[in-house]
Amino acid sequence: MKDSPAHLYRRFRYHVGPEPDPEDADRWAAERLEGAQQALFASMTIRDRVHSVAVARRTEDVLGEGHHVQAALLHDVGKALAPLGTTGRVVASLAEGTTLGDWLERRASRRPSGGRRGPLASMGAYLTYTELGARRLEELGVPPMVSAWAREHHLPPERWTVPTDVGTVLAEFDEEL
C-alpha cells in the first residue's frame, strides 16, 4: 500500500531538514530492546531511529508497556537492509506500484556474488523493506507481533494480524510523526 502524499511530504521535509540529535532517542530505545534488537535498531539512520522512538513513545503513552513498543521501535528496520539516501528513497517511493517499481523489485532479487547491491537494486529492495525487516526480525526470534507489524504496517487494517486496536494506534502515530 502506498503511503499517503501527505505522509510522503512530511517524511521528505523531515529528511531534508536539520539532522536531529539521536542521543536521547537511542538511550530510550536501548532501555526497551535487547541485544541483537539493539544492534539492528542502531543500524537504522539517525532520522529513522528518531522517528521510530517518537512513534514508540506515543504508543507507550497510550497503550503502556508491551511488545507493541518494540514493534513501534523496529517497524522500519528493513530500511537499514536497503540503504538509500533521501534522493533514492524519493525515487523508489514514486516508482512504487508502477512498472518501474516492479522492475526495481526484480533487480533487488538478483544479488551479485559480492553481496553488494547497486543503486537500482537498492531502490528495489527499499520497496520491499517491510518484508526484509520482518524476515530479519523473525531470524532474531522477536515476539511474533513485532515482526508482523514490521511486515504489515503499510497494509490496510483488514489485512493486519496484529490486534486492530494496537495496529490502529501504531499506524496513526507512524503516519502522523
pLDDT at 113: 56
Local structure of 61: helix, strand or coil: helix
Name the grid cell of 150: 514490521
What pLDDT score was predicted for residue 111?
A: 64
Quote the pLDDT of residue 117.
75
What span, in angstroms and rounded, lies between the C-alpha atoms of 155 and 1? Answer: 6
**Whole-number pLDDT of residue 118:** 84
Q: Contact, 46 vs 19, CB < 8 A?
A: yes
Query: How far apart (Å, rounded) are the C-alpha atoms in residues 96 and 67?
Result: 30
Collapse the DSSP code of 169 into the 3-class scheme (helix H, G, I; strand E, B; otherwise coil) and give the result: helix
What number of residues does the chain have?
Answer: 177
Q: What does the buried/exposed string (b/e) look like for 106-116 if buried means 16 or more CB atoms within 10 Å of the residue's CB?
A: ebbeeeeeeee
Residue 114, C-alpha cell as written in the block: 559480492
Q: Tally the C-alpha atoms within 13 A of residue 41's C-alpha that lie toward its C-beta.
A: 30
pLDDT along the chain (177 residues), means of 10: 70 74 94 96 96 97 97 97 89 90 86 70 92 97 98 96 97 91
Q: Which three cell numbers stand for residue 65?
A: 508497556
Cα–Cα distance for residue pair 140/91, rounded to 1 Å: 31
pTM reported for the whole predicted model:
0.87
**Cα–Cα dist 36/69, whole Å:** 16
Per-residue confidence (pLDDT) for residue 4, from 0 to 100? 74
The radius of gyration computed from the CA coordinates of the chain, to the nearest angstrom, equals: 15
**How much is the pLDDT for 132?**
95
